[in-house]
Amino acid sequence: MSRGPRRPRSVLEVNRVHLMDALEGLKALPDESVDLVITDPPYNIAKKGNKTILKGKRISTMEAWGAWDHYHPYDYDAMMMRVIGECWRILKPRGALYMFTAPQDNGVFVRHAVARGFTFRSQVAMVKKTALPSIFRSAWRSAFEVAFYATKGAAKSFNFLEQAEMVNVYHYPTNHKHTAHPTEKPQELIERFVRVSSKPGDLILDPFMGSGTTAVAAKKHGRRFIGFERSPDYLAMAEKRLKELDHPATTAE
């Protein structure tokens, strides 16, 4: 039986970060319209009882990262499953997905992505050169994060770089940040994802844009981008970084 015509979706401006919730924005995108998704969703690890160190002060992870990283576990899993499903829908055939997750959740979301139809390709570990000290000395110090790489069928773009750049363990200093966003990812690593898994002119999506690292990486390498961010403060950070690409600071000689 015919399902009838698809419901038309709104047209969103490209090369812009929109002040929108991730799922709201994803639903507005047409089917098979994006070449590459790079995203760093909330990890759901912000809690009042968990402690971390920020600027030398011991505070809760809720204070450090904010309420945006706190969900009921059921709501969080449901949201992530919907995001992965929407990423499948909006990706073109042979498009790619890079998604950061908390280490303990990576396998869960990889399995869901595979069940949705994605082909799992690899994981990329992001290792901090200077990990935070253990406050209570009751567990191993946390020094890495992980992203999974999956494709919608055979990869359309996989531009193998130098051998040293293609190792799936990336070491980075903790002073890499460009903004005050608490979970900003290293721009060099995101640029590497862009260079490997897209070509100039491709459209790159980040539904959890944060401070704009994916947009900056895309623009810097001649790709188009679109993204969603529900925090006006983080959106302002992203817009400032994009403007700085057009008007780089100059130093007097």
Least confident of 26-35, 65-74, 240-249: 65-74
Task: Give the distance between the most distant pair of CA atoms in the chain.
Answer: 72
Closest CA to 149 of 201, 113, 105, 102: 113
In the block, tokens 């260079």 appear at 195
| Structure-block tokens of residue 215 | 């947009």
Residue 10 has pLDDT above 80, yes or no: no
Residue 48 CB burial class (10 angstroms; 0-12, 13-18, ≥19):
exposed
Handedness of CA 186, 189, 195, 197 (dihedral sign): negative
Q: What is the rounded distance in angstroms from the CA atom of residue 71 to the CA atom of residue 84?
A: 17
pLDDT digits (tens, 9 = 90+) for 114-172: 999 999 999 999 998 887 777 778 888 888 999 999 999 999 999 999 999 999 999 98
Q: What is the pLDDT of residue 11?
A: 79
> Average pLDDT for residues 102-125, to the nearest whole number?
96
| Structure-block tokens of residue 228 | 């969603």
Q: What is the rounded distance in angstroms from the CA atom of residue 105 to the CA atom of residue 43?
A: 8
Which SS3 state, helix, strand or coil, does residue 101 take? strand
Q: What is the pLDDT of residue 209?
A: 96
Higher-pLDDT residue of 5 and 164 is: 164
CB 212 within 8 A of CB 242: yes
pLDDT digits (tens, 9 = 90+) for 50-83: 656 556 666 555 555 566 566 678 888 999 999 9
Q: What is the pLDDT of residue 3?
A: 45
Q: What is the pLDDT of residue 51?
A: 55
> Over pLDDT 90: what percentage of the chain?
66
Q: What is the pLDDT of residue 137?
A: 84
Q: What is the rounded distance in angstroms from the CA atom of residue 42 to the CA atom of residue 226?
A: 19
**In the CATH hierarchy, which fold is given to the domain comprising 16-246?**
Rossmann fold (3.40.50)
Residue 137 makes CB contacts below 8 A (sequence gap 6+) with none
pLDDT band at 173 (very low <50, low <70, confident <90, very high): confident
CB 187 within 8 A of CB 214: no
Measured from the Cβ of residue 201, the count of other Cβ atoms closer than 10 Å reads 9
Per-domain boundaries in the chain: 16-246
Residue 212 CA, chain-centre distance (Å), reads 10
Higher-pLDDT residue of 9 and 23 is: 23
> Average pLDDT for residues 2-10, to the nearest whole number?
50
Q: What is the rounded distance in angstroms from the CA atom of residue 38 to the CA atom of residue 9?
A: 22
Residue 251 has pLDDT above 50, yes or no: no
Long-range Cβ contact pairs of 102-108 (< 8 A, separation 24 or more): 102/43, 102/44, 102/45, 102/145, 103/144, 103/145, 103/146, 105/43, 105/44, 105/80, 106/146, 106/148, 108/77
Measured from the Cβ of residue 238, the count of other Cβ atoms closer than 10 Å reads 25
**CA 128 vs CA 125, 162, 174, 177: distances in Å:** 10, 22, 6, 13
What would you report as the CA-atom Rg of the chain, rounded to the nearest whole angstrom? 18
Q: What is the pLDDT of residue 78?
A: 92
